[in-house]
Amino acid sequence: MAASILAWYDRLGRILPFRGTKDPYLVLVSEVMAQQTQIGRVGDAWREFTTTFPSFERLAAASPADVLRAWRGLGYNRRALNLWRAAGVVVEAHGGVLPSDVTALERLPGIGPYTARAVAAIAFGAPVGAVDTNVRRVLSRSLSGAIDGFSTADLQRVADASVPTDRPADWTHALMDVGATFCRTRKPDCEACPARRSCRYASEAGSREQAAVVRPAPKARVAASPFRSSSRWLRGRILDRLREIDGAEWHDLVAPIGDHDGPAVTRALSLLAAEGLIELQPGAGLRARLPLS
């Protein structure tokens, strides 16, 4: 199966800007950006961010405000702060050199098991399996015949054992591409998948699993609230307004903002401050700025 997948990847794998590097810093930035963000949106953002902050030292020396400005458009802004904090740890505790050990990588702010293993495999050539939702589907279906065929611990052992020791970086990318392109959650394209000849799901268990997940027709759904009415929308707009303010100036956030009244804006500001994404001017009501330290 590995040989088939890698042969397909060599010919038709996705071409992404950050796949041409093994620099540990550049790989880490790309992996953090790719968390919860469509992969097609990451390329340009990665180029711009790493041009502004080309090293751990430059990133650690920046203010959180500058990092959050550079992160605009990617969403889930706590990732930006965690990356900035991780850069500080790398500079202070590791002399500016990213550790290659998975356990040490997991100790960095915001770095979980998947990101640690992806960085170890791609940047350092470690034979470790990075398991995201795409990889979980490919390995579980192909080796067990079902999407939930392994426990989390067993799947990690399977993922580690599956890594071709001479191509851990390519294998990491290839499994993700197969999961995203063919081994989709619904209506997997087994006929076109390069793993089909070795896949238990495709040859034996596909029809049984599909039958097992058939459920009664859903009840009529209540229309969801427009995104503009959500707290997430409001917090995004607040951060975007503060991104327009240079330096240490405070900004008055006059309510309403969109459909959100004064109390809603106050709640959103409190949440953003608690997450470290903004600073509130003491005793000044709805005045805020991006954090400077």
Closest Cα to residue 28, out of 135, 92, 109? 109
Quick check: is 244 catalytic? no
Do you find a cis peptide bond into 256, omega within 30 degrees of 0?
yes
What's the N-to-C CA distance of the chain in angstroms? 49
Q: Which of 31, 92, 209, 249 is catalytic?
A: 31
Closest Cα to residue 32, out of 88, 99, 84, 98? 84
Which residues does the annotation mark as catalytic? 31
